[in-house]
Amino acid sequence: MGFNDQEIVALSGAHALGFCHDDRSGFVGPWTDTPHEFSNKYFQYMLNKKWQLKKWNGPAQFENADDGTLMMLPTDMVSLSVPDGVRSFD
């Protein structure tokens, strides 16, 4: 779509708000523990929490390893593997 890393990070930052509904997207859960509050927790959690693939009958998604209450989409996790992607979080 022609976005650079910084623009992609800005768009994905919207994941700081809200959560996924399995009846709408097939994915389920919030990205942060404060889904009704705009913050940088989405980025903090992506970088600082341990993530694992969720074991369920839905589409591939990640959950936080400590208690499984938060989620990340595979597209969220790609940012961690893109050269200079994490640097764009700053």
Q: Does this model's pTM top 0.75?
A: yes
Q: Which residue has the tokens 């400590």?
A: 66
- From 11-25, 29-43, 48-62, 74-88, the region with the lowest mean pLDDT: 74-88
In angstroms, the CA 65 to CA 41 distance is 16
Mean pLDDT of the 55-68 span: 97
Tens digit of pLDDT for each residue in 5-14?
A: 778 777 787 8
Band (pLDDT 50/70/90 cuts) for residue 54 is very high
Kindly report the length of the chain.
Answer: 90
